[in-house]
Structure 1
Amino acid sequence: MAETPVDPPGLDLARLRSRLERELPGLLQGPLRADLIEGGRSNLTYVLGDGASRWVLRRPPLGHVLATAHDMGREYRVMTALRDTGVPVPRTLLLDPDDETLGAPWYLMEYVSGTAHRDVAPLAALGERRVHALGQRLVDTLATLHRIDPAAVGLADFGRPEGYLERQLRRWSKQLAASRSRDLPELDRLHARLAERLPASPAPALVHGDYRLDNVLVDDADTITAVLDWEMSTLGDPLTDIGLLVMYTELAGVGGGIIPSAMTAPGFPKADEIVSRYADATGRRAEDLDWYVAFASFKLAAVAEGIHYRFRQGRTLGAGFERAGEMAPILARHGLSTLKES
């Protein structure tokens, strides 16, 4: 007798199968199984399979969910819009914006093969030349995203560029407050310094919101096959993406591996090369880059505190969450240092 597939946390396979058979008839060819992909720190990602094909399902985390932070519809819409552009994205299949099937909104997309490089050893094994070329390709893909005309792909209303940085700073301050379980004076000081030095934004563009090496898939030919994790995408200041990429590069491997270590691999471009290559590809000069890197530190600290909050409630799935609480002080100090505050 065939073994009955086990429901992973956050999925009801029977209800999901019923919904897929109704919405996508003929998709499933056998028993539906699902595995939670470990390593994600926000939305939950599962690989589904029926013995013949595989797909990926995304849904918000269990428990404490911050308003606007886990918008399934936003991810689905931007990937659908970017399907025929130079930005590689998985093909989207179905969006369920309601809570009826899984108790939360979710969407289904195609499974794309590739490696998401988090750890330094596998990336370093490629050799310095290949690592350097992949780092350049990562910057080039971001530049391609920022050169897209949002109106041309149906995303002219995907965000409100006017006052974007001020709203972002306010939003992440509110997210931090909603997850606060301890005093974080350095992070409060970083927020105050960012508010004092708010720069003027350049022309708006489509913003990914969490662009880094382990949010793309790479094949054996070192080609980027998909850009993933669009949950914070919007129409806004593109320098927030480059500031975030620089911050991840500068802090790679910090916090016991909470920030991926892959970008410490010999050959991976340093921050100055990343910024220079991006500027050459887009014509955008990051004159206030220090502010954007410091803001990236503040934003990631707010994310880490949300993870820490859910972990303390026992509402996280997978390993590694127990160290999320270490990150906020580290990120606050990095942001303050970037802004030249001792």
Structure 2
Amino acid sequence: MSSSPPPQPSAREVPPPGLDLEKLRSCLDRERPGLVGGPLRAQLIQGGRSNLTYTVTDGAGRWVVRRPPLGHVLATAHDMKREHRVITALHGTAVPVPTPVLLCEDESVLGSPFYVMEFVDGTPYRTAEQLAPLGPERTREAVLSLVDTLVDLHAVDPESVGLADFGRPEGFLDRQLRRWGKQLDASRNRELGGIDELHAALGRALPDSAAPSVIHGDYRLDNVLIGGDDRIKAVLDWEMSTLGDPLTDLGLLAMYSRPIDLPGSPISTTATAAGHPAAAELIERYAERSGRDTSAISWYTAFAWFKLAVILEGIHYRYTLGQTVGAGFDRIGDLVPVFIEHGLTTLQEG
């Protein structure tokens, strides 16, 4: 969903995998008559970690289709209805989200549930190099707007937008810590110094959660679209959203705002971009604008380091089994000790 030009027709254009354009057109004509005015063309948007995302156009209008990955097994991990529900609920609030168009749970159309939303023109900045042309001042404003939008999200009253039952906020942090501990156990195939120490220390220092809110679950710069005015046009990728402790979103954002000390890291970061505010400034801005107590933010940031270490170790484990393909996977394992060290250091600083 960047500001790339619409896909152009070719002599014998083949639609991307997982998207039957004829069946999609029939579904849209049936459910949203008059929306589409001509033959559909599509392209797969690269860069997504999990669910498949496509841009679709009839030459005049543009839309985005989201569906689970091909051959997915766990429906709960790729819940289209959940994603569609949260953007529908947030549409019309201060949180910028794409306009929802359609949820289709009929698997005979595309082979799995999917949803359609309006295309939003903007850029997802994934690296410091991509931010460089903006210059320091514009980069700073873009990142600060990320904090302001997070404050707006956490200010939404879940009940008022129909999300009162969107999650189980009671015991949220304890469940999260146990969940990621189990994920770690499922990927163990080597010694990882400090990982168990970090997990245990997080358990001993478990903070009392703030008042629950709608949380994004994976809030960072490359999950939003930035417009030409350097403001956020849409927040994307709501697959991990729920009701829970809002400071988990802030802790993750703080984690991503610290440079990763590994030359040639396969994990992209924008933290080294000129003008990018330090984590401390982002936390201070959030506290000032939200009125929330952020005194325990070191725990939440350390938890984010732990969670990402577990995710990366899972990727490394699959790589050792020959289950991943592509560039960079051979270096993922080198990052895990770095994340563990940052987690331990951050927790001690708190």
Query: Normalized against structure 1, the TM-score is what?
Result: 0.88
Single out whichever of 295-304 and 210-219 deviates more from structure 2: 295-304
Calculate percent identity across the aligned residue pairs.
Answer: 58
| Residue in structure 1 matched with residue 189 of structure 2 by the alignment | 182
Single out whichever of 210-219 and 127-136 deviates more from structure 2: 127-136
1:7 matched to 2:15? The reply is yes
Single out whichever of 244-253 and 130-139 deviates more from structure 2: 244-253
Tell me if the contact between 1:114 and 1:225 (Cα under 8 Å) persists in the aligned partners. yes
Change (3 A) 1:188 1:26: farther
Letter in 2 for 1:24: R
**In 1, distance between residues paired with 2:262 and 2:35?**
43
| Residue in structure 1 matched with residue 116 of structure 2 by the alignment | 108
Aligned pairs, number: 339
**In 1, distance between residues paired with 2:271 and 2:225?**
15
**In 2, distance between residues paired with 1:172 and 1:69?**
15
Q: Secondary structure at the match of 1:126?
A: helix
Tell me if the contact between 1:81 and 1:153 (Cα under 8 Å) persists in the aligned partners. yes
**In 2, distance between residues paired with 1:291 and 1:151?**
28
Single out whichever of 70-79 and 106-115 deviates more from structure 2: 70-79
Instruction: Identify unmatched segments of 5+ residues in structure 2.
Output: 1-8
Tell me if the contact between 1:33 and 1:48 (Cα under 8 Å) persists in the aligned partners. yes
Pick aligned residue for 1:242 from 246, 250, 265: 250
Q: Secondary structure at the match of 1:165?
A: helix
Structure ranking higher on relative contact order (CA contacts 8 Å, 6+ apart): 1
Pick aligned residue for 1:205 from 203, 213, 229: 213
1:141 matched to 2:149? The reply is yes
Change (3 A) 1:254 1:196: same
Tell me if the contact between 1:93 and 1:109 (Cα under 8 Å) persists in the aligned partners. yes
**In 1, distance between residues paired with 2:192 and 2:318?**
21
Tell me if the contact between 2:139 and 2:274 (Cα under 8 Å) persists in the aligned partners. yes
Letter in 2 for 1:242: L
| Residue in structure 2 matched with residue 35 of structure 1 by the alignment | 43
**In 2, distance between residues paired with 1:38 and 1:253?**
26
Single out whichever of 3-12 and 44-53 deviates more from structure 2: 3-12
Query: Normalized against structure 2, the TM-score is what?
Result: 0.86
Q: CA deviation at 1:73?
A: 1.7
Q: CA deviation at 1:181?
A: 6.4
Pick aligned residue for 2:29 from 15, 21, 24: 21
Change (3 A) 1:325 1:107: farther
| Residue in structure 1 matched with residue 342 of structure 2 by the alignment | 334
Deviations, residues 249-288 of structure 1 (Å, cap 9, x unaligned): 1145858454433232111110111111000011112222
Runs ≥4 in structure 1, deviation > 6 angstroms? none
**In 1, distance between residues paired with 2:111 and 2:318?**
18
Change (3 A) 1:240 1:322: same
Q: Secondary structure at the match of 1:100?
A: helix
**In 2, distance between residues paired with 1:314 and 1:37?**
23
Single out whichever of 74-83 and 244-253 deviates more from structure 2: 244-253
Instruction: Identify unmatched segments of 5+ residues in structure 1.
Output: none
Question: 1:61-80 maps to which residues of 2 (within 5 A)?
Answer: 61-63=69-71, 68-80=76-88
| Residue in structure 2 matched with residue 285 of structure 1 by the alignment | 293
